[in-house]
Amino acid sequence: MQKYTVVVCDHIHQAGLDMLENDENINFIMAADEPKDKLVSEIIPKADVAITRSSTDVDANFIKHATNMKAIVRAGVGVDNVDIPGCSKEGIIVMNVPTANTIAAVELTMTHMLSCMRMFPYSHDHLKNQRIWKREKWYGYEMKGKKLGVIGFGNIGSRVAARAQSFEMDIVAYDPYIHPSKVTDCDMTYTKNFEDILACDIITIHTPKNQETIGIIGEDEIAKMKDGVVLVNCARGDLYNEDALYNGLKSGKIRFAGIDVFGKEPAIDNKLLDLDNIVVSPHLGANTYESQYNIGTQAATNAIEAAKGISFAHAMNLPIDESKIPSFVKPFLEMGQKIGFLESQMNKSQIIAIKVSGHGEISEYVESLATFVAVGAMSQSSGETINYVNADFVAKEKGIKIESEALADSVVFKNLITIKLTTSEGTTTISATIFDDGVKRIVAIDGFDIEVALKGDMILFKNKDVRGVIGSIGSTLANHNVNIADFSLSRNNESQALAVILVDNAVDESTLKELASLDACISVNYARI
């Protein structure tokens, strides 16, 4: 009977350990209390699968010693301490456990919200530790009748909204990647105007941490909020700009904040802790006994099935044997995922359909390509819960149709892929290839023949084909201290032009609004690859 070695690098719930111990096909090594140097150098080389948490860094040194490893299970949601590209390079599949702590995170959010409204931790301290009985000092606010803005209406945000609704709050939800009916069917208000969120009494955020959401609440957004607003973040650090949050709390613009997550953790020296109108906790989103049981048992299940080769649930990286595909295929898969991600930023609304076409030899792998495109396209809305294994399932759950087609060889390119993304707001189509120099290049966007490298910060400016536009774009960007790295231009037969501008630094909303106000502008989009 074949045995597989599973090494547990960090502590998980005993129920998960019991599952590993009791499986006759598993050789279980508990190494959570071993020194990390011994763990990596002596124990990891024996492992078929490792279970880790945040205490063990899966870095280059770890991967170098993981010579027999099939998979790593991150017991939790976050994979910030895992070098996923490095694992992919060595054929190690990385999995996480994304839904085990959902209820814990939801209930912690409600805890912070109630604590902010009634200042409960402070009144508790006043009586319990200072032994002062002063009821008149602790007048709070009721949640009934207040307007709650929910940023991100996914697995956690929707459940927070449902619980807040039972407090008779009015819910306003912002999530451009879902169908409005998901909100309106619950007798809540759906908005695509972010300023509707800023007008709420309380704001809570439940989004993935990505280029679009980091700093989604900053100085400008706080300035537009109601005086006395309450902010809650139990999702990811840096979604609220911490300097802006500090200034808003200190000035009183923000009456109270409830924060579980920070940009740098442990946050024992964070200046937010100096304020007396903030409730904090040390990243406790998953810290319930039920959640830890779920995480431990799901991690053990995933590790056992991965060791036996049964399945790789919630895989975060490349789930294919690269030795069985031609070397030219993987860069096309990676490019397809990037284009899906790009198109989802160009067309920020509910995805309805994804169609992937392949010309040339890549057409034989177009079904795999479609999976990678879907992961890229849905990552903006699904974040860490989307992966190559569950992409088709998530798409069906969201009502997204995924199609693929193999076409005849292109007369121009050796291999060409075309990705058409249809959303509730329209359609975007991009064609791309990889030339002999290995650089991934877009060769067409929405009928415009244009050659652009697929990288960096990108502005897509569609305009009426009239004189002076290029100069106006250049002047606007210069006025906002945005440096142009590359400027590609194309025309069509309808007196329109498309400029794709690669820039050296991030572009803020005010710059995009000024570009959109130019007389010749038809549309302007911004994406970060």
Token pair recorded at residue 495: 């007196």
Marked catalytic residue, from 42, 90, 265, 367: 265
Q: What is the pLDDT of residues 119-164, one digit of tens each?
A: 999 999 999 999 999 999 999 999 999 999 999 998 899 999 999 9
Fold of the domain spanning 322-528: 60s Ribosomal Protein L30; Chain: A; (3.30.1330)
**Nearest residue to 13 (alpha-carbon basis) of 106, 104, 111:** 104
Where exactly does CATH 3.30.1330.90 map onto the chain? 322-528
Q: What is the pLDDT at residue 111?
A: 98
**Nearest residue to 303 (alpha-carbon basis) of 293, 313, 289:** 313
Residue 141 is given by DSSP the state -
Rounded-to-integer distance, Cα 247 and Cα 221, Å: 13
283 is catalytic: yes
Cis-peptide, bond into residue 326, ω within 30° of zero: no
Superfamily of domain 4-98+290-308: NAD(P)-binding Rossmann-like Domain (3.40.50.720)
Q: What angle do CA 226, 230, 236 make, to 5 degrees?
A: 120
Marked catalytic residue, from 13, 112, 236, 441: 236
Number of Cβ within 10 Å of residue 439's Cβ equals 12
Cα diameter, the chain:
84
**Nearest residue to 272 (alpha-carbon basis) of 261, 284, 288:** 261
Above 90 in pLDDT, residue 485?
A: yes
Token pair recorded at residue 430: 């991009």
Phi-psi region of 263 (alpha: psi -120 to 50; beta: other; left: phi over 0): alpha
Helices (H), 353-450: 366-382, 391-397
Q: pLDDT-based confidence at 390, cuts 50/70/90? A: confident
Cis-peptide, bond into residue 266, ω within 30° of zero: yes
Q: What is the pLDDT at residue 385?
A: 60
Which sign, positive or negative, has the C-alpha torsion 378, 312, 66, 17? positive
Name the residue with tokens 């060409």.
416
Where exactly does CATH 3.40.50.720 map onto the chain? 4-98+290-308, 102-280
Rounded-to-integer distance, Cα 103 and Cα 97, Å: 14
pTM: 0.75
Q: What is the pLDDT at residue 322?
A: 55
Q: pLDDT-based confidence at 383, cuts 50/70/90? A: low
Question: What contacts 339, CB < 8 A, 6 or more positions away?
Answer: 373, 376, 417, 419, 430, 432, 442, 454
Could you give phi then psi for residue 226, rounded to 5 degrees? -65, 150
Q: What is the pLDDT at residue 81?
A: 87
- Contact between 209 and 239 under an 8 Å Cβ cutoff? The reply is yes
Rounded-to-integer distance, Cα 301 and Cα 19, Å: 8
Report the length, in residues, of the chain. Answer: 529
Strands (E), 69-118: 71-74, 93-96
Marked catalytic residue, from 13, 255, 283, 314: 283
Rounded-to-integer distance, Cα 521 and Cα 459, Å: 13
Q: What is the pLDDT at residue 141?
A: 97
**Nearest residue to 182 (alpha-carbon basis) of 173, 195, 192, 194:** 173
Q: What is the pLDDT of residues 9-62, one digit of tens each?
A: 999 999 999 999 999 999 999 999 999 999 999 999 999 999 999 889 999 999
74 is catalytic: no
Rounded to 5, what percent of the chain is helix, strand, coil? 35, 25, 40
Q: What is the pLDDT of residues 297-339, one digit of tens each?
A: 999 999 999 898 787 878 887 655 555 677 788 889 889 989 9
Q: What is the pLDDT at residue 36?
A: 95
Above 60 in pLDDT, residue 384?
A: no
Q: How far is CA 409 from the centre of its chain?
A: 36
Q: What angle do CA 469, 474, 480 make, to 5 degrees?
A: 130
Q: What is the 3-state secondary structure (H, E, C) of 415-426?
A: EEEEEEEEECCE
CATH top-level class for 102-280?
A: alpha beta
Helices (H), 441-526: 469-479, 509-516
- Contact between 20 and 8 under an 8 Å Cβ cutoff? The reply is yes
How does DSSP assign 138-174, residue by residue? Answer: ------TT-EEEEE--STTHHHHHHHHHHTTPEEEEE
Rounded-to-integer distance, Cα 15 and Cα 133, Å: 44
Rounded-to-integer distance, Cα 19 and Cα 342, Å: 42
236 is catalytic: yes
Start-to-end CA distance of the chain, whole Å, equals: 48
Above 90 in pLDDT, residue 5?
A: yes
